[in-house]
């Protein structure tokens, strides 16, 4: 083996650590220190159960009669069939195979065909959940969960905004989506493709000057573009480990810009759950109803369902959400299911990616050495 080949293999192995999210991997252990959104609140009604997948684990999300959500491993301890196919009874869920019943912590509370009391020794894994702004979050670590503070965005909690939630599932590794958040140059090209919508027009095709710094919460990205001879500043905050907070133009010229948060959550190593929150400033009842109706109309649109037409260059006739999402989809999924970072060729404009990777490698190295990782906190000015 040549020295160059050995270097390539070593680099490939190092880069693979960024993409592997199983429980026993360094990245998987790191991710399990945080709260993750795993479903929209409206996706499960009281008395109902559904199957979801997060961080490579099959889970059952159900709501009890009280409306409280619960999250368990989606396997009955008895014969390992899926629990979401059974019944929700009160605050508990019963397996349809032989009737074993579990409470919201995963404790078995009944085995109808077995000796009474024997169920006390049976338990499956249950994870804590927290609902926030129409999203269901979970913590999948082995230790006590951290306070639910880092994912919060105070602007979204205000009384003078309308908030909308949507999700998509993309057939690629989550880290490609994360890296795209720290790449301001792509805006000057990707979002000019097919059709220039409200986002592409507002940000323009000008090449930005870039600055990146690590913060208490993650990273801050500043892109300076010259528009009509004057510098314009676009500042976005990225929250560790996967959340981008930016502003988007409204669909109507002159209306306030929209606050946007995007979570990039690994379903497994080859699929990403992209959860988006949008908060539009209330102005008039008519304008509020119009932007909410537009966002609602985008709710069921998933770029992955339009894969072939998008890669054939057919983009949606849409001013904002569908269009920008479609443009990002083509570039991110176009890298492959898992990007081959060992063979990429980075430049000076990729400083954001370089810093992002250094931070993740630093945190994974701390985990592998048994040392404490950074305690991430919401930025004091991140309202």
CATH superfamily of 36-139: Rieske [2Fe-2S] iron-sulphur domain (2.102.10.10)
Q: Is the pLDDT of residue 323 over 70?
A: yes
pLDDT, position 181: 92
- For residue 167, the model assigns a pLDDT of 97
Report residue 354's pLDDT band, with 50, 70 and 90 as the boundaries: very high
Domain boundaries, the chain: 36-139, 154-369
Strand partners, 126: 72
Tens digits of per-residue pLDDT, 161-204? Answer: 999 999 999 999 999 999 999 988 888 888 888 777 667 666 66
Query: What mean pLDDT comes out for the span 106-132?
Result: 96
Look up residue 195 and give its two tokens: 């059709």
Question: What top-level class would CATH report for the domain 154-369?
Answer: alpha beta
Q: What is the pLDDT of residues 123-160, one digit of tens each?
A: 999 999 999 999 999 999 999 999 999 999 999 999 99
pLDDT digits (tens, 9 = 90+) for 13-40: 899 999 999 999 999 999 999 999 999 9
Largest CA distance in the chain: 81
| Per-residue pLDDT, 197 | 66
What pLDDT sits at residue 231? 76
pTM of the model: 0.93
Q: What's the pLDDT at 250?
A: 85
Q: How far is CA 16 from CA 166, 174, 269, 357, 379, in A?
A: 29, 12, 10, 12, 30
């Amino acid at each position: 083996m040549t020295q160059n080949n050995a270097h390539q293999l070593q680099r490939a192995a190092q880069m693979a650590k960024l993409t592997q999210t199983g429980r026993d991997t360094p990245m998987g252990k790191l991710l399990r220190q945080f709260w993750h959104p795993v479903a929209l609140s409206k996706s499960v009604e009281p008395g109902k159960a559904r199957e979801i997948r997060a961080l490579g684990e099959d889970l059952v999300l159900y709501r009890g009669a009280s409306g409280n959500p619960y999250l368990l491993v989606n396997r009955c301890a008895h014969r390992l069939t899926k629990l979401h196919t059974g019944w929700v009874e009160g605050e508990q869920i019963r397996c349809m195979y032989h009737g074993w019943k579990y409470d919201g912590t995963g404790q078995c509370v009944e085995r109808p065909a077995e000796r009474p009391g024997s169920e006390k020794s049976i338990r499956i894994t249950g994870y804590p959940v927290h609902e926030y702004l129409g999203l269901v979050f979970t913590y999948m670590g082995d230790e006590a969960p951290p306070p639910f503070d880092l994912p919060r965005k105070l602007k979204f909690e205000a009384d003078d905004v309308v908030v909308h939630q949507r999700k998509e599932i993309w057939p690629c590794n989550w880290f490609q989506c994360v890296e795209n958040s720290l790449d301001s140059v792509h805006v000057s090209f990707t979002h000019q493709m097919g059709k220039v919508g409200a986002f592409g027009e507002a940000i323009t095709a000008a090449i930005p000057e870039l600055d990146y710094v690590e913060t208490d919460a993650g990273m801050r990205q500043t892109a300076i573009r010259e528009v009509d001879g004057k510098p314009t500043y676009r500042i976005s905050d990225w929250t560790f480990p996967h959340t981008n907070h930016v502003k988007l133009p409204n669909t109507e010229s002159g209306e306030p810009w929209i606050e946007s948060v995007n979570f990039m959550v690994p379903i497994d190593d080859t699929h990403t759950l992209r959860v988006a929150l949008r908060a539009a400033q209330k102005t008039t009842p008519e304008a509020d109803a119009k932007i909410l109706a537009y966002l609602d109309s985008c709710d069921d649109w998933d770029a992955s369902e339009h894969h072939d037409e998008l890669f054939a260059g057919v983009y949606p006739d849409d001013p904002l959400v569908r269009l920008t999402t479609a443009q990002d989809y083509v570039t991110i999924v176009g890298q492959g299911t898992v990007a081959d970072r060992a063979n990429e060729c980075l430049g000076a404009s990729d400083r954001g990616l370089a810093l992002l990777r250094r931070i993740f490698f630093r945190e994974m190295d701390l985990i592998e050495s048994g040392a404490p990782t950074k305690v991430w906190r919401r930025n004091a000015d991140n309202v």
